[in-house]
């Protein structure tokens, strides 16, 4: 038996207001239409649902049983509609993002700032990962999408969008500032202490490969776990190190660190967006992805 959703909607309002005229007003239709729909529903179900009284209508025992189910169903439907409409207006929703620090500062923050101002009710959950950790989080469904820095061979299982490129600059501070006075070759890394991200990171792997391609070994004296730890250590003169250009702008302008020119500069690296094509994100996640993809930034 195929009964129209509209019949049950009309039945719900008539039972709720105990009045066919009030139901018609709530539904913005004529009372004859309400009366006809109730009659059709009663005919198809083979029972009387309402008793007409001088003050309106009351439910019969069969009507009471039907209303108990229809009310739950209709209120769930209207709640679902409200949630979808609210999400479409970006008044609700949660977006979970995995990102490396370099991608966060180099690209993601400039995108999230205007998005959050425009849609302050959307919750943002941002997890700072290494590239490997971010890819694992995406594989496990922990994040909606992630932004990572190359090298990222593990990303081949996902949809990859290159968002921008950046250059890391060799810099020094403290007692090593004099190194910026002339162009150096790669032997400078043998003569002075080197600060780097830890050997479990893709950054360490990147420089290991670069130095190996030059028949040299990438040796470090101080290893840190996050990119934002690099600059304070370099500026205090604990060693020299490669830092992304966008981390350095203010420090270079203030003279806290200097660039050490190199005869052999490492290749530029990329910031990439990774998406799992087998999973569909929510409306808010889709909107942020659109903003991210339209904001390509090249650094250095």
- 186-269-204-105 Cα dihedral, nearest 10 degrees: 120
Helix (H/G/I), strand (E/B), else coil: 254:
coil
Q: ∠ CA(268), CA(272), CA(277), 5° rounding?
A: 155
Q: What angle do CA 197, 98, 279 make, to 5 degrees?
A: 140
Q: Residue 255 has what pLDDT?
A: 94
**Strands annotated E in 101-167:** 123-128, 145-149, 159-166
The domains spanning 94-163+272-293 and 168-267 adopt the same CATH topology: yes
- In this prediction, residue 239 carries a pLDDT of 97
CA distances from 175 to 83, 112, 274 (A): 60, 38, 41
What CA–CA distance (Å, rounded) separates 273 from 198?
Answer: 23
Pick the CATH number of 5-88 from 1.20.1250.20, 3.40.50.11030, 3.40.50.300, 1.10.10.10: 1.10.10.10
Compute the Cα dihedral for 177, 179, 183, 185 and give only its sign.
negative
CA torsion angle for 294, 168, 255, 106 (degrees, to 10)?
20
18-30 as b/e: b if 16+ CB within 10 A: ebbebbbebbeee
Count how many Cα atoms sit within 13 Å of the Cα of residue 188 in the half-sphere of its side chain. 23
| Domain residue spans of the chain | 5-88, 94-163+272-293, 168-267
Question: Is residue 207 within 8 Å of residue 266, measured between CB atoms?
Answer: yes
Length of the chain equals: 300
| Best CA proximity match to 300, nearest among 186, 164, 101, 177 | 164
Residue matched to tokens 């989080």? 137
Contacting residues for 47 by C-beta, under 8 A, at least 6 apart: 60, 62
CATH for 168-267 is 3.40.190.10
**Would you give per-residue pLDDT tens digits along the chain (300 residues)?**
455 778 888 998 899 889 999 888 888 888 899 899 999 998 989 999 999 887 889 999 999 999 999 888 888 887 777 667 655 556 668 899 999 999 999 899 999 999 888 888 888 999 999 999 999 999 999 999 999 999 988 888 899 999 999 999 999 999 999 999 999 999 999 999 999 999 989 999 999 999 999 999 999 999 998 888 999 999 999 999 999 998 899 999 999 999 999 999 999 999 999 999 888 778 888 889 999 988 755 444
- On the CB side of 41, CA atoms within 13 Å amount to 24
Complete DSSP assignment for 60-71: -HHHHHHHHHHH
Place of tokens 């910031």: 271
Residue 144 and residue 122: Cα distance in Å, rounded? 14
Q: Is the dihedral of CA 241, 242, 247, 250 positive or negative?
A: positive
CATH number for 94-163+272-293: choose from 3.40.50.170, 3.40.50.1820, 3.40.1350.10, 3.40.190.10: 3.40.190.10
Q: What is the pTM assigned to this prediction?
A: 0.69
């Amino acid at each position: 038996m195929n009964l129209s959703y509209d019949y049950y909607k009309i039945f719900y309002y008539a039972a709720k207001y105990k009045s066919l005229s009030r139901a018609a007003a709530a539904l913005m239709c004529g009372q004859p239409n309400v009366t006809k729909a109730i009659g059709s529903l009663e005919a198809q179900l083979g029972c009387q649902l309402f008793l007409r009284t001088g003050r309106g209508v009351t439910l019969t025992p069969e009507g009471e049983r039907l209303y108990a189910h229809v009310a739950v169903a209709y209120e769930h439907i209207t709640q679902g509609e409200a949630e979808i409409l609210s999400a479409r207006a970006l008044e609700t929703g949660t977006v979970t993002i995995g990102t490396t620090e370099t991608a966060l500062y180099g690209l993601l923050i400039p995108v999230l700032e205007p998005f959050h101002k425009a849609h302050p009710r959307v919750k943002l959950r941002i997890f700072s990962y290494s590239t490997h950790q971010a890819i694992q989080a995406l594989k496990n469904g922990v994040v909606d999408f992630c932004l990572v820095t190359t090298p990222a061979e593990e990303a081949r299982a996902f949809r990859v969008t290159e968002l921008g490129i950046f250059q890391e600059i060799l810099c020094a501070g403290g007692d090593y500032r004099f190194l910026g006075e002339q162009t150096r070759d790669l032997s400078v890394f043998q003569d002075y202490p080197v600060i780097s991200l830890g050997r479990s990171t893709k950054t360490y792997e990147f420089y290991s490969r670069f130095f190996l391609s030059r028949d040299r070994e990438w040796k470090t004296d101080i290893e840190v776990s996050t990119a934002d730890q690099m600059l304070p250590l370099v500026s205090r003169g604990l060693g020299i190190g490669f830092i992304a250009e966008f981390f350095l702008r203010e420090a270079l302008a203030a003279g806290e660190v200097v660039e050490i020119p190199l005869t052999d500069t490492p290749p530029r690296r990329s910031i990439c967006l990774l998406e799992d094509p087998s999973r569909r994100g929510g409306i808010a996640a889709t909107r942020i992805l659109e903003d991210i993809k339209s904001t390509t930034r090249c650094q250095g």
